[in-house]
Amino acid sequence: MNALATDPLANPRLLIEHVYGYVAYRMGDGPEAEDVTSEVFERALRYRTSYDPAKGRPLSWLLGIAARCIQHHGASISSDHEVPDVADDFDLESDAIRRISVTTMVSKLDDRDRELVALRYGADLTARQVGEILGMKTNAVQVALHRALERIRRDVTRDGGERRPHEHRLQTSSGLS
């Protein structure tokens, strides 16, 4: 058996990216998400011998640890999420409004839908991978995600007035479409 099959942390760079993406999607970007991600990997290192490849892939195992760490911290997406102060060559005001609106609307979803959105877009997993983690069929994940995203679109449109092409778009780098 090779190292990748026996060591759940054999490819840390990709795992860190996925775990951080998931945690940041659930808690918001920043130092708190970084701390929780660090805690996930500390626990994973401490309990790496408990990883059982027969029960799932390393990423699934790590995301389970991440979910427990987030729950332990009592964290969820907050509506006072800070938008980073970074200059770019696009309209920062529109982007900030969009991010705050989408973040607020995601925080209003129920726990199951927030988890689906975080796994799919935060951890950048496929619907099939999300289904494996949550014990759902791929089609059920796709339908649930579609419904959750429709609720977000409806709420963003309702709260932001009539949608204009440059504002309140869910088709952005955040992956919500």
Q: Mind listing the domains of the chain with CATH numbers?
A: 3-72 (1.10.1740), 92-159 (1.10.10.10)
Q: What is the distance between the alpha carbons of residues 141 and 130, in angstroms, rounded to a whole number? A: 7
73 confidence band (pLDDT: 50, 70, 90):
confident
- Could you say which DSSP state residue 160 is in? T
Q: pLDDT digits over 166-177, tens only? A: 433 344 444 444
85 confidence band (pLDDT: 50, 70, 90):
low
Q: Is the whole-model pTM more than 0.75?
A: no
pLDDT average, residue stretch 22-46: 91
Classified as helix, coil or strand, 80 is coil
pLDDT greater at residue 68 or residue 101: 68
Q: pLDDT at position 164, please?
A: 43
pLDDT greater at residue 86 or residue 26: 26
